[in-house]
Structure 1
Amino acid sequence: MSLKSNEKRCMSLLYSTGLEDYRNQLPKPVEGTCSWILNDPQYMSWLTSNETGLLWVTGEPGCGKTMLSLYLTEHLAIESPSSSGPEVFYFFCDDKVGTQRDAKEMMKSILHQILLRHRSLIKYMKSRWEATGHHLVDSFHALWEIFVRIVKEARLGSFGIIVDAIDECEPNTRRLFLQAIKQLVQEARRATRRSRSFVKFLFTSRPSPQDLSVLEETQNTVLPLDGNQARISEEIRLVIRNKLGRIASKLGCSAETIAELEALLTEKAEKSFLWLNIVLKSLEDSPSTSKRDLKRIINDFPRELQATYAEFLYRIPDSRKIIASTVLRLLLGSSRHLSLDEMNIAYTIDGSLEGYQTVAEVMEDRQTALEQMLQLVVGPFVRIEAQKVSLIHQSVKDFLTGHALSSPDSTVREFGTSTPTAALHMASTCIRYLSLEEFATDIFILPTLPWDEDDTIAGVQEDTDSESLFDLGFDMKGDTIMDTGDGSDERTRVSIAERYQFYDYAAMHWARHYAQCETVVDRSTQEAFRSLTQPGSGMLTNWLKYYWFETDMEYVLPDYFDTVMVAAFFDCAVMLNDCLRMPTEQLSKDRALFWAARMGSAKSVEVLLRHSANPNSRVVELHTPLTIASHHGHVEVVRTLLHDTRTSINAEGPSGRSALSYAAGNSHQEIFQMLFNRHDCRPEHQDNNGWTALFWAMERDHTVIGRALLAHKAVDVNHVDRQGRSILSWAAGEGFLQALKMLLKQPGVDTNLKDKKGRTPLLWAANNGHGEAIDVLMRDDYKIDRQSKDNDGRSALSLACGGGHTDCVRALIKYRCGDENEEDVSGWTPLAWALDRQSPPTVGALLAGREVKLDHQDQSKKTALIWAAEYGYYDVVEMLLQQGADPRITSTNGRTALDMAELYGRTEIAALLRQVMSMEENTVW
Structure 2
Amino acid sequence: MAYTTSYDGSNSGFQVGQNLGHITNQFLQSETSLNRACLRDLRTTDPHHDKDRIQNTNGGLLKDSYCWILDNKEFQQWQDNASNSLLWIRGDPGKGKTMLLCGIIDELTRLFGDTANISFFFCQATDVRINNATAVLRGLIYSLVKKQPSLLAHVKSQYDYTGKALFEDINAWNALSRIFTDILKDATLPSTYLIIDALDECTTGLPSLLDLITQVSSAYPQIKWIVSSRNWPNIEERLDTTHTAPISLELNEASVSEAVSNFIQHKVHYLAKVKQYSDETRDTICRHLSSNSQGTFLWVALVCQDLDRTSRRHALKKMEVFPPGLNALYGRMIDQVRNSEDAESCKRILAVMSIVYRPIAFAELASLVELPDDLSGDSEALSEIVAICGSFLTMREDTIIFVHQSAKEFLLRETQIEVFPGGIAAEHQTIFSRSIEAMFKTLQRDIFRLKLPGYPIQKVIPPSPNPLASAQYACVHWVDHLHHSGCHKKKDVDIDERGCVGDFLQTRYLHWLEALSILGSISQGIEAMLKLEALLRKKEKPAALLHQVQDASRFIRYHRQAVETLF
Q: Taking structure 1 as the reference length, what is the TM-score of the superposition?
A: 0.51
Match of 1:128 among 158, 162, 184: 158
Q: What is the rounded CA distance, in whole Å, between the counterparts of 1:242 and 1:586 in structure 2? A: 60
Confirm or deny: 8 A CA contact 2:493 2:499 kept in the other structure: no
Q: What is the rounded CA distance, in whole Å, between the counterparts of 2:451 and 2:321 in structure 1? A: 53
The aligned residue for residue 802 of structure 1 is none
2:47 matched to 1:15? no
Confirm or deny: 8 A CA contact 1:427 1:511 kept in the other structure: yes
Match of 1:265 among 289, 294, 305: 289
| Partner SS for 2:65 | coil
Confirm or deny: 8 A CA contact 1:236 1:271 kept in the other structure: yes
2:59 matched to 1:98? no
Confirm or deny: 8 A CA contact 1:337 1:390 kept in the other structure: yes
Confirm or deny: 8 A CA contact 1:76 1:87 kept in the other structure: no
Q: What is the rounded CA distance, in whole Å, between the counterparts of 1:494 and 1:511 in structure 2? A: 25
The aligned residue for residue 162 of structure 1 is 195
| Structure 1 residue 220: Cα displacement | 0.4
The aligned residue for residue 540 of structure 1 is 509
Distance verdict in 2 for CA 1:99–1:19, change over 3 Å: farther
Q: What is the rounded CA distance, in whole Å, between the counterparts of 1:585 and 1:251 in structure 2? A: 62
Distance verdict in 2 for CA 1:158–1:34, change over 3 Å: same
The aligned residue for residue 253 of structure 1 is 277
Distance verdict in 2 for CA 1:239–1:421, change over 3 Å: farther
Match of 2:332 among 284, 308, 311: 311
After superposition, where does 1:735-884 map in structure 2 within 5 Å?
A: none
Identify the range of structure 1 (252-261 vs 316-325) with the bigger mean alpha-carbon deviation: 316-325
| Structure 1 residue 591: Cα displacement | 5.0
Q: What is the rounded CA distance, in whole Å, between the counterparts of 2:498 and 2:269 in structure 1? A: 53
The aligned residue for residue 402 of structure 2 is 391
Distance verdict in 2 for CA 1:163–1:345, change over 3 Å: same
Q: What is the rounded CA distance, in whole Å, between the counterparts of 2:448 and 2:73 in structure 1? A: 61
The aligned residue for residue 423 of structure 1 is 428
Residue identity matched to 2:411: L
The aligned residue for residue 382 of structure 2 is 370
Distance verdict in 2 for CA 1:581–1:75, change over 3 Å: same
After superposition, where does 1:328-407 map in structure 2 within 5 Å?
A: 328-347=350-369, 350-352=370-372, 365-375=377-387, 377-405=388-416
Residue identity matched to 1:400: L
Q: What is the rounded CA distance, in whole Å, between the counterparts of 1:106 and 1:541 in structure 2? A: 32
Q: What is the rounded CA distance, in whole Å, between the counterparts of 1:424 and 1:277 in structure 2? A: 35
Q: What is the rounded CA distance, in whole Å, between the counterparts of 2:211 and 2:233 in structure 1? A: 14
Q: What is the rounded CA distance, in whole Å, between the counterparts of 1:529 and 1:510 in structure 2? A: 18
Distance verdict in 2 for CA 1:237–1:162, change over 3 Å: same
Q: What is the rounded CA distance, in whole Å, between the counterparts of 1:368 and 1:324 in structure 2? A: 15
Q: What is the rounded CA distance, in whole Å, between the counterparts of 1:80 and 1:576 in structure 2? A: 55
The aligned residue for residue 95 of structure 2 is 63
Distance verdict in 2 for CA 1:486–1:492, change over 3 Å: closer
Distance verdict in 2 for CA 1:346–1:521, change over 3 Å: farther
Q: What is the rounded CA distance, in whole Å, between the counterparts of 1:119 and 1:47 in structure 2? A: 26
Match of 2:345 among 323, 336, 346: 323
The aligned residue for residue 23 of structure 2 is none
Judging by fraction of residues, say which structure has more helix.
2
2:534 matched to 1:514? no
Confirm or deny: 8 A CA contact 2:123 2:130 kept in the other structure: yes
The aligned residue for residue 245 of structure 2 is 221
| Structure 1 residue 297: Cα displacement | 3.4
The aligned residue for residue 570 of structure 1 is 531
Distance verdict in 2 for CA 1:525–1:249, change over 3 Å: farther
Residue identity matched to 1:167: D
Residue identity matched to 2:362: L
Q: What is the rounded CA distance, in whole Å, between the counterparts of 2:49 and 2:193 in structure 1? A: 21
| Structure 1 residue 145: Cα displacement | 1.8
Q: Taking structure 2 as the reference length, what is the TM-score of the superposition?
A: 0.81
Q: What is the rounded CA distance, in whole Å, between the counterparts of 2:283 and 2:160 in structure 1? A: 65
Identify the range of structure 1 (327-336 vs 179-188) with the bigger mean alpha-carbon deviation: 179-188
2:173 matched to 1:174? no
| Partner SS for 1:204 | strand
After superposition, where does 1:269-288 map in structure 2 within 5 Å?
A: 269-287=293-311
Confirm or deny: 8 A CA contact 2:196 2:227 kept in the other structure: yes
Residue identity matched to 2:119: F
Residue identity matched to 1:507: C
Confirm or deny: 8 A CA contact 1:431 1:529 kept in the other structure: no
The aligned residue for residue 500 of structure 2 is 531
The aligned residue for residue 449 of structure 2 is 447
Confirm or deny: 8 A CA contact 2:42 2:164 kept in the other structure: no
| Partner SS for 2:390 | helix
Confirm or deny: 8 A CA contact 2:198 2:228 kept in the other structure: yes
Q: What is the rounded CA distance, in whole Å, between the counterparts of 2:180 and 2:327 in structure 1? A: 41
Q: What is the rounded CA distance, in whole Å, between the counterparts of 2:139 and 2:212 in structure 1? A: 17
Q: What is the rounded CA distance, in whole Å, between the counterparts of 1:367 and 1:163 in structure 2? A: 37
| Structure 1 residue 485: Cα displacement | 4.9
Confirm or deny: 8 A CA contact 1:52 1:188 kept in the other structure: no
| Structure 1 residue 250: Cα displacement | 3.5
Q: What is the rounded CA distance, in whole Å, between the counterparts of 2:109 and 2:319 in structure 1? A: 38
Q: What is the rounded CA distance, in whole Å, between the counterparts of 2:347 and 2:356 in structure 1? A: 14
The C-alpha deviation readout for 1:367-388, integer Å capped at 9, x for no partner, is: 335334422x111212222222
Confirm or deny: 8 A CA contact 1:96 1:336 kept in the other structure: yes
| Structure 1 residue 595: Cα displacement | 9.3
| Structure 1 residue 158: Cα displacement | 1.6
The C-alpha deviation readout for 1:548-570, integer Å capped at 9, x for no partner, is: 56455479x9xxxxxxx998523
Confirm or deny: 8 A CA contact 1:567 1:575 kept in the other structure: no
Confirm or deny: 8 A CA contact 2:513 2:522 kept in the other structure: no
Confirm or deny: 8 A CA contact 2:420 2:427 kept in the other structure: no
Residue identity matched to 1:102: N
Q: What is the rounded CA distance, in whole Å, between the counterparts of 2:163 and 2:321 in structure 1? A: 60
The aligned residue for residue 503 of structure 1 is 471
Q: What is the rounded CA distance, in whole Å, between the counterparts of 2:505 and 2:492 in structure 1? A: 23
| Structure 1 residue 573: Cα displacement | 5.1
The aligned residue for residue 244 of structure 1 is 268
Confirm or deny: 8 A CA contact 1:340 1:388 kept in the other structure: yes
Match of 2:66 among 30, 34, 52: 34
Q: What is the rounded CA distance, in whole Å, between the counterparts of 1:321 and 1:248 in structure 2? A: 31
The C-alpha deviation readout for 1:346-377, integer Å capped at 9, x for no partner, is: 44xx113x6xxxxxx997x23335334422x1
| Structure 1 residue 134: Cα displacement | 3.9
Confirm or deny: 8 A CA contact 2:194 2:224 kept in the other structure: yes
Question: Between Structure 1 and Structure 2, how many residues are aligned?
Answer: 521
Q: What is the rounded CA distance, in whole Å, between the counterparts of 2:225 and 2:164 in structure 1? A: 28
| Structure 1 residue 400: Cα displacement | 0.9
Q: What is the rounded CA distance, in whole Å, between the counterparts of 1:31 and 1:236 in structure 2? A: 12
Confirm or deny: 8 A CA contact 2:293 2:325 kept in the other structure: no
Q: What is the rounded CA distance, in whole Å, between the counterparts of 1:250 and 1:535 in structure 2? A: 53
Match of 1:43 among 59, 62, 75: 75
Distance verdict in 2 for CA 1:341–1:22, change over 3 Å: farther
2:411 matched to 1:414? no
| Partner SS for 2:92 | coil
CA RMSD, Structure 1 to Structure 2 (Å): 3.6
Task: Considering Cα pairs closer than 8 Å and 6+ residues apart, tell me whether 1 or 2 has the greater RCO.
Answer: 2
The aligned residue for residue 3 of structure 2 is none
| Structure 1 residue 182: Cα displacement | 1.8
| Partner SS for 1:325 | helix
Q: What is the rounded CA distance, in whole Å, between the counterparts of 1:46 and 1:146 in structure 2? A: 26
Percent of pairs identical after alignment? 21
**Uncovered stretches (5+) of structure 1, i.e. residues with no partner:** 190-197, 355-360, 406-412, 451-483, 558-564, 599-619, 622-925
